[in-house]
Structures are given as structure tokens and as C-alpha cells.
Homo-oligomer: A and B are copies of this chain.
Amino acid sequence: MAAPKKNGIQTVYFKNPPVIIAAASIVGCLEGEGPLGKTFDQVVNDTYYGEKTWEKAEQRMMLETMQKALEKAGLQVKDIDYMLAGDLLNQIITANFTARVLGIPFLGLYGACSTMYEGMALGAMLIDGGFAEKVLVGASSHYSTAERQYRFPTEMGNQRPMTAQWTVTGAGAAVLAREGSGPVITHATIGKVVDLGQGDAQNMGAAMAPAAADTITCHLQDTSRQPDYYDLIITGDLGAYGKKLTGQLVTQYGYDISDRYTDCGILIYSASQDVHAGGSGCGCSAVVTCGYLMESLRSGKYKRLLGIGTGALLSPCSVQQGETVPGIGHAVVIEMR
């Protein structure tokens, strides 16, 4: 298969790379018990988090994650120019209601599970473009709110196919700033919506893989870099099947990323946790990036990484009307200098 047809350069670089001065993550029980459990700031064992509904629990999780990120940055709400956030719930109510509490000028985003990376890319542009000093970026998902909105009430106990993924319960938030210490965002590659005709809403990894492969390939072409420039190339929530497909497509497009490529949805759970193909949801790439990846950059385990937030752009309505599932992938380069 030929490399993706390109209209032009999709990648921008930042003259003064914005700094991720702080990041925070709060996750649910299953995520806390997983291999990355220790890299998150807080584990919440109650799926209701003391609230009356799962939706309100997700809101509390996003709010406290944002407050935690501000606290770690030593900043207050008034120091932040913009909040960029989104989630999976209809009309992104998690982000809207969090923004209501914080009172920061708010730009609502919807990129499905790519939202954290869409936010980091846009936030970096706003800072490097001269429109902000500090930006707060965040995204969240919750297993129980996503299941009942997208699929079936969990009470029904429907059987899930092995290609299905497990929506991560968790929220991630990062504070981007013009100056400070921490990893920097040097490039962003905004993705196109790609659809190779996958119509199974229970196999979203396969639906997102073509978009992920497209963005990775465009990024490498745009920057004239080889995969070995990066210590790690990591997609957001493709899971086992989507990751395999992405690797195959990128190989067909002329790049071999196999020795340094993984996926947040694979890292977050262990095989014994019975989540089938891996993690998914806005929270997946958000918490792995704000938890594990930030820790790995700060500890020196990785120096340069290419992260690709991936989103499946379906709705129950679009599936019911016979549509296939398009995907999107937004990439940012994060380096420790």
C-alpha cells in the first residue's frame, strides 16, 4: 500500500517549545491495580466516587485532577489563560461542568479519545503563537458512563467480543506554560479523519488504526525523521488488535517502528485483568501520558517521544444508521531537554 496521499505539510513546530510544567492523573480501581498503578496521583476505588451518579463521579474526577495539576504547578486558577478539555459524554458535560467550577476561559473540544492530544497540540499553539502564557489541558472517561451511553447498561451483563476494549476510568490534566522546567512540546501533527470502511463498533482499534498510521507516517515525512529519532512511539488507545494493524500499515508506508512502538491501551492493564483487547477512552491516553510518560521523561527512561492520541468518531446514532467508524489521530512530540 502506498503512503498516505498528502495535501501539504501537516506538522508544525514550536519556536519556543511550550513546557509541560505539571501533570496529574486520577484513576479508578482497575487502572490502579494495573502495571502503571504507581505512576498515577490517586486511585479511586468507588466507581461513584461518593456521588449519586457515575456522570457526577467522572466530573469530580476531572475537577480534582485539574486542581491537582494546578497545585503541582504551584498555580491558581487565575494564573491560567485558557482551559482546553473534553470527554466522551454527549455534549461533553464532564468538561463543561468542570469549567463551570474553575471559571477559566474555556475552549470545549471533541476529538473522541484523541482529545488530550488535540488539547496539548492546540494549547501549545496558543502559547507559542503568543495568545497565552499558561494553558490547562484535560480529558476524562469513565467505564460506567461510557458503557451505558455507547453500548448497553452494564447491569445487563452482555458478553463482549475479544476485540472489545475497556474504557479507562480516569482523568488526566497537564499545565502547559511558556516558561518553566519539564518536558517540552516541540511539534504537533493534526490528523485527518480516515475511514477504511471498518463498521464494527466493538472493534474500535481496527477502526482507528488507519488514522494512527496516517498521522505517524505524515509526521515522519514532514520532519524528515526516521523512527529511531524517538525512544518511544506510542498511540492512545488502539489496544492489541489496533496496534498490530497500525504497525503493519506503517511498515507498508515505508517505516519500521516495530522496535519502539506501543500503545497506552496495552500498557495500562495486564493480561490477567481480563479487559480483552486493552484500554480505551479519552482517559486512557490522558492518564498514561500525564502519569507514566511524564514520569518516564522526568526519570530519563525516555528522552524523546512521539505520542498519538487516537479517536474513533462514531456515535450510537451513526452506527444505527449504517455508518462505518472513521478514526483520527493527533500527534505531539514531547522531549526532555
Q: How far is the CB of A86 from chain B (nearest CB, A)?
A: 7
Q: Does A122 contact B (CB under 8 A)?
A: yes
Q: Does A326 contact B (CB under 8 A)?
A: yes
A328 touches B111 (CB 8 A): no
A110 touches B126 (CB 8 A): no
Q: Does A157 contact B (CB under 8 A)?
A: no
Q: Which of B93, B129, B131, B190 lies in contact with A107, CB distance below 8 A?
A: B190
Give A10-34 as 1s and 0s: 1 = Cβ < 8 Å from B's Cβ atoms. 1010000000000000000000000
Q: How far is the CB of A63 from chain B (nearest CB, A)?
A: 12
Q: How far is the CB of A148 from chain B (nearest CB, A)?
A: 10
Q: Does A302 contact B (CB under 8 A)?
A: no
Contact A122 B96, CB 8 Å, known A89-B317, A91-B314, A316-B90? no
Q: Which residues of B contact A191 (CB under 8 A)?
A: 105-106
Give A144-170 as 1s and 0s: 1 = Cβ < 8 Å from B's Cβ atoms. 000001000000000000000000000
Q: Which residue among A118, A125, A321 has the maximum number of chain B CB atoms within 10 Å of its CB? A: A125
Q: Does A267 contact B (CB under 8 A)?
A: no
A313 touches B8 (CB 8 A): no
A318 touches B12 (CB 8 A): no
B193 touches A131 (CB 8 A): no
A326 touches B97 (CB 8 A): yes
A91 touches B77 (CB 8 A): no
Within 8 A of B (CB), among A114-154: 118, 122, 125-126, 128-131, 149
A104 touches B192 (CB 8 A): yes
Chain A residues with CB under 8 Å of chain B are: 7-8, 10, 12, 52-53, 55-56, 77-78, 81-82, 86, 88-93, 96-97, 99-100, 103-112, 118, 122, 125-126, 128-131, 149, 190-195, 313-318, 321, 323, 326, 328
Q: What 4 additional pairs, Cβ within 8 angstroms, besides A55-B321, A108-B109?
A: A107-B109, A108-B328, A109-B109, A109-B110
